[in-house]
Amino acid sequence: MTARILDGKALAAEVRAEVAQRVAALRARGLQPALAVILVGDNPASQTYVRHKGSDCESVGMRFVLDRFAADLPQAALLARIAQLNADPSIHGILVQLPLPKHIDPNLVIAAISPSKDADGFHVQSAGALMVGLPGFRPCTPYGCMRLLQAAGIAPRGRHAVVVGRSNIVGKPMALMLLQADATVTVCHSATPDLATFTRQADILVAAVGRRRTITADMVKPGAVVIDVGMNQDEAGRLCGDTDFAAVREVAGWITPVPGGVGPMTRAMLLVNTVEAAERSAR
C-alpha cells in the first residue's frame, strides 16, 4: 500500500480563489483588505516567508504593507509601530515575523497586536477563544491541517489523533482543534517515554517537532493519516519534514509531502484570517 498524498499546494490554490472572491466583494464596497507584516533583522528564511506572503496577498487583491527593520531595533520602537498599525483603520491584519532578535520578547510583541487584527492567531485572546470554542482567529498551521483533512473527507470524529509536539503555535492548538472535531487526542512531546507506543495507536498522526525523520515507518499504524508539519533540511540541504517520507508512505493511508503539504496551507489560511478580519471591520 502506498499512501495517497494530501496535496496542500493544490488545496491552497482553491483557498486563494475563495479568498479572492471575498476580497473582490469587499473592494466592491470600497474596502480593500490589507495585511501589515513587520520583519526585524535579516534571517534568510524569514525573508523568504515574507516574500511569499506578499505574493499571496497580491494574487488575491489584498494590499500588502511591509515594514523592514534592522536587527538592533529597540523593543519599544517595535511596540510603537504595532500601536500605529492597531490604530490604522486601513490595516486589517498584523503579523510580526518570528523568530525575533533575542533582545525582543515575542510574547510581549504578540500581546501588543490588537486581537481584532491578529492574523497569525497567536494572541492570548485568540488562544482563549479556541480553548472554549468561541469564534476567533485560528493559528494558521493547524487551521490549514484541518482544512486538508476536511478536503480529503477525513472526519476526526471517533478517531484517535496523536499530536507530537506541544508548541503554542502548532501542537497545542492542533490538539484543541482535533478535540473540537470529536477526535480522542493524545499529545506527545520531548518527555514522552517510548514515543512509538503512542504513535502506533494513531488514526491521525500529526508530527510537529522540528526534527527530521523523527517519525519512522515502524512508528506508524497501517492506513493512518500522517500530517507532517516539519520544515527541516536533510543532509543534502533539501527541505524535508519530521517523517521519513519515503518509508512512511508505504505504511500510511494518507500523508502530506514536504514541501507541498502543510506549508502552502499555512500561508493560505493567513489570507483567510486577514479577509475575515476585514469582513468583521465592515460589519
In CATH terms, is domain 30-114 a member of 3.30.365.10?
no
In the set 7, 56, 118, 120, the catalytic residue is 120
Is 120 in the active site? yes
Q: Taking the domains of the chain in order of start, what are their residue ranges?
A: 30-114, 140-263
Annotated catalytic residue: which of 56, 97, 118, 242? 97
How many residues are listed for the chain in this entry? 283
HSE of 145, CA atoms in CB hemisphere, 13 A? 30
Residue 23 CB-half CA count within 13 A: 24
Question: Is 53 designated active site?
Answer: yes
| CB of 131 closer than 8 Å to CB of 177 | no
Any idea what the Cα angle at residue 133 is, between residues 128 and 137, rounded to 5°? 60
| Cα end-to-end distance, the chain, whole Å | 50
117 included as an active-site residue: no
Q: For residue 145, give the nearest of 106, 120, 175 by alpha carbon.
A: 175
Provide Rg for the chain, Cα atoms.
Answer: 19
Q: pLDDT for 118-155, tens place per residue?
A: 999 999 999 999 999 999 999 999 999 999 999 999 99
The whole-angstrom separation of Cα 80 and Cα 151 is 41
pLDDT tens figures, 71-127: 999 999 999 999 999 999 999 999 999 999 999 999 999 999 999 999 999 999 999
Domain 140-263 in the same topology as domain 30-114: yes
pTM of the model: 0.96
- The CATH class, in words, for 140-263 is alpha beta
